[in-house]
């Protein structure tokens, strides 16, 4: 009798600060919420943010009161419009929303929103230092580009030296790996891997806002462990 072939090592589960990226929500609930999210509109514009995250952003906006939102990943511009309206309701005139996408599909214009074409992997070519220097603080940065590790990691690395204490950067769609549809496996858990790598690279520089991540239950968000506050 021959010895069995040694099994391949099982990779350690992703985690930060003793927390895995797994959501308490079962896959059937996640899939139902995703199906509804992908049919949602705001003021007539497609807006693909889950209802849970829209509620969490309202909590964050009320607490942080940012003056600028920088969104990487525009799609049709629904979330940029939503952010502009929510910031205006809270702060009044003078808020800024910058929304960057490699292929701009927004078909409307709004004086509060600057739409820019740019590559998430090469943001320095679009978000020049003089532009960033003129954006009022505090900032809320939303990473919602391709959901691939390389792009999410590049966005995090780009913004790190520009963020101040109290600024937030939210890495969206780490939840994709937990949907039943195998289509989402193509993203290879990219957002979560980028968050884990980034926090390990900058120990003590950021905290995971667990009050937001766990507001509706442990990681009941499309951005598990992805609500990051600069310390």
Q: How far apart are CA 13 and CA 5, in angstroms?
A: 24
Tokens for 200, please give them: 């390990």
Please tell me the distance from the alpha carbon of residue 26 to that of residue 45, in angstroms, as a whole number: 29
Q: How far apart are CA 162 and CA 132, in angstroms?
A: 8
* Token pair 């939102």 in the structure block, residue: 69
Token output for 62: 């009320």
Q: Is 172 helix (H, G, I), strand (E, B) or coil?
A: coil
In sequence order, what are the residues at sequence separation of 6 or more whose Cβ sits closer than 8 angstroms to the Cβ of residue 56?
212, 215, 216, 221, 227
Distances 67 to 16, 90, 163 between C-alpha atoms, Å: 29, 10, 13
Task: Tell me what pLDDT residue 51 has.
Answer: 98
The stretches of the chain forming alpha helices (DSSP H) are 27-37, 51-64, 78-91, 129-133, 149-159, 190-201, 210-213
Instruction: Give the C-alpha separation, 184 to 69, whole Å.
Output: 27
Would you state the pLDDT for residue 12? 53
Tens-level pLDDT at each residue, the chain (231 residues): 444 444 444 345 678 889 999 999 999 999 999 999 999 999 999 999 999 999 999 999 999 999 999 999 999 999 999 999 999 999 888 889 999 999 999 999 999 999 999 999 999 999 999 999 999 999 999 999 999 999 999 999 999 999 999 999 999 999 999 999 999 999 999 999 999 999 999 999 999 999 999 999 999 999 999 999 999
Tell me, rounded to whole angstroms, the distance of Cα 127 from its chain centroid. Answer: 18
């Amino acid at each position: 009798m021959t010895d069995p072939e040694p099994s391949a090592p099982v990779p350690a589960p992703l985690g930060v600060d003793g927390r895995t990226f797994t959501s308490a929500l079962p896959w059937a609930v996640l899939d139902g919420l995703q199906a509804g999210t992908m049919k949602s509109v705001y003021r007539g514009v497609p807006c693909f943010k889950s209802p849970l995250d829209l509620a969490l952003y309202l909590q964050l906006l009320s607490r942080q009161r940012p003056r600028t939102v920088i969104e990487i990943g525009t799609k049709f511009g629904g979330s940029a419009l939503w952010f502009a309206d929510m910031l205006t309701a809270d702060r009044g005139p003078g808020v800024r929303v910058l929304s960057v996408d490699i292929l701009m599909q927004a078909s409307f214009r709004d004086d509060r929103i600057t739409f820019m074409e740019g590559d998430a992997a090469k943001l320095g070519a679009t978000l020049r230092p003089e532009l960033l220097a003129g954006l009022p603080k505090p900032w809320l940065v939303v990473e919602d580009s391709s959901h691939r590790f390389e792009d999410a990691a590049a966005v995090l690395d780009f913004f790190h030296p520009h963020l101040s204490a109290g600024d937030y950067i939210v890495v969206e769609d780490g939840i994709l790996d937990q949907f039943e549809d195998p289509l989402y496996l193509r993203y290879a858990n990219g957002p979560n891997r980028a968050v884990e790598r980034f926090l390990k690279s900058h120990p003590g520089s950021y905290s995971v806002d667990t009050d937001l991540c766990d507001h509706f239950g442990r990681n009941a968000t499309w951005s598990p462990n992805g609500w990051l506050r600069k310390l």
